[in-house]
């Protein structure tokens, strides 16, 4: 692959959902030359992943201990091919804040649909924020993210083209 595909997972605080998505995606697809990162729309730079996210990721063999939150800004978007949000509102916020970005913007539960190119696309599954929930909420979130990542398999293994 001449150009390495770079994918940014997006949520609110970059401490629960997007770090889990980043870690699971890296474990599943990272060997294929894809770079995975994450950011949050309201992230406090340097904040650790939540204890629930660290725990459920560890059960999947993923270490989120080194993770530190970063806000979605122009630097975070540098070289990104896909911004994959956990909710439609987050995808819309990214599009609104960065209208001139060349990154394709999508919903994790709507694989391969670039909402920048197809703003009227409907459907898609959202991932709820487990922040403040018991560990069961984090397990449900991680299971859902793992399942939804499979919908992206072809894109992550073929160079990132949208449908």
Catalytic residue among 16, 17, 28, 104: 17
| 47 close to 112: Cβ distance less than 8 angstroms | no
Structure tokens at 56: 């459920």
DSSP of 77-93: TTT-SEEEESSHHHHHH
Residue 109: DSSP 8-state: B
Active site residue 17: yes
Residue with tokens 């995808």: 91
Spatial CA neighbour of 92 closest among 41, 141, 156, 36: 41
Calpha distance 98→63 (Å, rounded): 31
Active-site residue, 163 included = no
Name the helix (H) or strand (E) containing 25. Answer: helix 17-29
Q: Which of 11, 16, 114, 116 is catalytic?
A: 11
Task: Map residue 37 onto helix, strand or coil.
Answer: strand
Instruction: Assign 6 to helix, strand or coil.
Output: strand
From the list 26, 88, 129, 133, the catalytic residue is 129
Is 129 known to be catalytic?
A: yes
Catalytic residues: 11, 17, 129
């Amino acid at each position: 692959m001449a150009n390495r595909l770079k994918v940014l997972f997006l949520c609110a605080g970059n401490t629960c959902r997007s770090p889990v998505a980043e870690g699971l995606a890296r474990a599943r697809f990272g060997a294929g030359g894809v770079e995975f990162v994450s950011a949050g729309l309201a992230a406090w730079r340097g904040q650790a992943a939540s204890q629930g996210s660290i725990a459920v990721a560890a059960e999947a063999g993923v270490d989120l201990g080194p993770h530190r939150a970063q806000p979605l800004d122009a630097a975070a978007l540098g070289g990104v091919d896909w911004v994959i949000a956990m909710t439609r509102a987050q995808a819309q916020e990214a599009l609104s804040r960065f209208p001139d970005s060349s990154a394709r913007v999508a919903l994790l539960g709507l694989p391969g649909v670039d909402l920048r190119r197809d703003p009227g696309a409907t459907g898609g599954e959202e991932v709820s924020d487990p922040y403040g929930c018991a560990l069961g909420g984090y397990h449900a979130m991680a299971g859902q993210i793992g399942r939804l990542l499979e919908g992206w398999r072809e894109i992550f293994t073929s160079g990132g083209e949208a449908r």
